[in-house]
Structures are given as structure tokens and as C-alpha cells.
Amino acid sequence: MTEKPNTEKPGAGEIVLRYFAWLRERTGVSEERLTLPPGILTVGDLLLWQSQRGHPFDQAFAKPEAIRVAINHTHAKPAASIASAREIAFFPPVTGG
């Protein structure tokens, strides 16, 4: 599958959030650009923020332990810092192969 690369760069302080598989379906969003509120420093903070964000994110993120996160195309654990993140993706555990 040829996919066009993300050429549009986020503005200052903006970050790209991406959603895959059932997270994309439940949030109704595949990609969004936004500036995160202050105080969100780690992947864990971000998952908590998503779960408190209101409909439909609160339901999609109700079980954060079932959600995996990647920062700039690399798997990241809940304790990982998001300081250098340009793109953060949320998805269920992978099921390829």
C-alpha cells in the first residue's frame, strides 16, 4: 500500500495524535493536531488525560492498560517522556502475522 507521507508539519507546540484499529473507530478520529494542556509529561499522563477528555475519548480510553502507545514511530511505555514527541499514536496490542 502506498501511503502519502505526512508533509504538513505541526505548528509551534502542536502535536499530531493518531488512532488505529478499534481506537480509531471508537473515537471517530484517525488523526488530529493539537496543543496539549500543560502538565502532561509522560505517556501515562497522556492516557489519563484522554480518559478524562469527554465523549467519545473517555470511553475509548476507559481501559488504558489495553492501549499501546508509540512516540515518533517507536513503541513507548507509560513512564516514557513525551518531551520530544512530534507524533503520538494510540492503538490496541498488535495482531499481525
Partner 1 sequence: MSVRVSTADFDVSEEMNRLTAGNTEIGGVALFAGKVRGDVNGEALTSMTLEHYPGMTEAELERIEGEAQRRFELSTSLIIHRVGELKPGDNIVLVITCAPHRKHAFAAAEFLMDYLKMYAPFWKKETFASGATRWVDARESDDEAAAAWAAYSE
67: helix, coil or strand?
Answer: coil
Do 16 and 34 meet the contact criterion of CB atoms below 8 Å apart?
Answer: no
Beta carbon of residue 47, minimum distance to partner 1 (angstroms, whole number)? 17
Residue 13 touches partner 1, criterion: CB under 8 A: no
Cβ-based nearer residue to partner 1, 16 or 46: 16
Q: Within 64-93, which residues bind partner 1 (CB under 8 A)?
A: 70, 73-75, 89, 91-93
Identified binder of partner 1 from the candidate list 11, 38, 39, 96, rule CB under 8 A? 96
**68-71 and 31-35 as β-strands: parallel, antiparallel, unpaired?**
unpaired
**Angstrom distance (rounded) from CA 36 to CA 73:** 19
